[in-house]
Amino acid sequence: MMALAGQASAHPHVFIDAGLEFQFDAEGRAVALRVVWAYDDLTSLLIVEDRGLDKDGDGALDATETDALSGFDMNWDADFVGDTYVLLGDVPVTLGPPGDWTATYTNGRVISTHLRKLDPPVRPADLPLVVQVYDPGFYSAYTIASEPVLRDAIGCAAQVFAPDIEAAQVQLDAALAEFTGDIESDFPAVGALYAEEVRVTCTAAP
C-alpha cells in the first residue's frame, strides 16, 4: 500500500488498519457492527501532539488524557457515512450513527473503536452480508488487518476478499489522465476500487 501511495499522485495520506466485529442477536440477525481504526504511526503522533497529549513523551496516556482522546474522530459531518458500507447481497443496509466509542494510544498508534447499529437488523442466510471499508476520495487507505469477529453468530463464517490492484491502478491512471482540477482538493473518487471487503455467510437460520 505504501508503494501505491506514490503511484496515486501522493494519495493516500493516512493509512488505517481496520477491524470489524459483527454482533448477532438470538434470532440469528446481524444487529450491529463494531469498527476498529488503528492509525499509522505518523498520523497517530500528529493526533496526539495536536491535542497536547503525552506531554512527557513516554508513549503512554494517563486516564485523563485517554478520556480526552476518546471520540476525537467521531465529530462527523452530516454527509459523512463513516467510510463503512454494508450490503445484504447487492442491497445497501443503513447504518446508524456511531456510538459507544473508545480510543487508546498503544505502541505509538492511536486506536479508536465505535459501534454502528444495522437498521433494520438482517439475517445473512440466503444472501451474504458484505462490508467494505474505504474512503471514496482515497485520502485515507484502509486495510482489513485482522480476522473479522462474529459475536454470537451461529453457523456463520466471514471471509476477506482483496481488490484487483492492477485493475484498480489502470482505472486510476485513466481517471488521472482526464483530470483537470486541483488534485489535492478534488481527487477522483477511486477509493472503492482499492477496497477490501468482508463477506459473512450463514449456512442456515436458527
* Angle, alpha carbons 79-85-91 (nearest 5°): 110
- Domain coordinates of the chain in residue numbers? 2-202
CA distance 194 to 165: 7
**In this structure, is the dihedral angle defined by the CA atoms of residues 175, 12, 50 and 53, taken in order, positive or negative?**
positive
CA distance 18 to 111: 10
* Angle, alpha carbons 122-198-120 (nearest 5°): 15
List 40's β-bridge partners, or say none: none
Q: What is the pTM of this model?
A: 0.87
Q: Enter the C-alpha cell of residue 140.
A: 485515507
Q: Residue 120 to residues 4, 96, 131: CA-CA distances in angstroms? A: 37, 10, 15
CA distance 12 to 4: 8
Please give the CATH architecture assigned to the domain spanning 2-202: Distorted Sandwich (2.70)
pLDDT at 8: 46
pLDDT at 187: 61
pLDDT at 114: 98
Q: Collect the ranges in the chain with pLDDT lower than 50.
A: 1-9, 206
CA distance 13 to 7: 12
* Element housing 99 (H / E): strand 99-106
CA distance 100 to 205: 28
CA distance 131 to 50: 32
User: What are φ and ψ of residue 44, in 5° steps?
Assistant: -60, -45
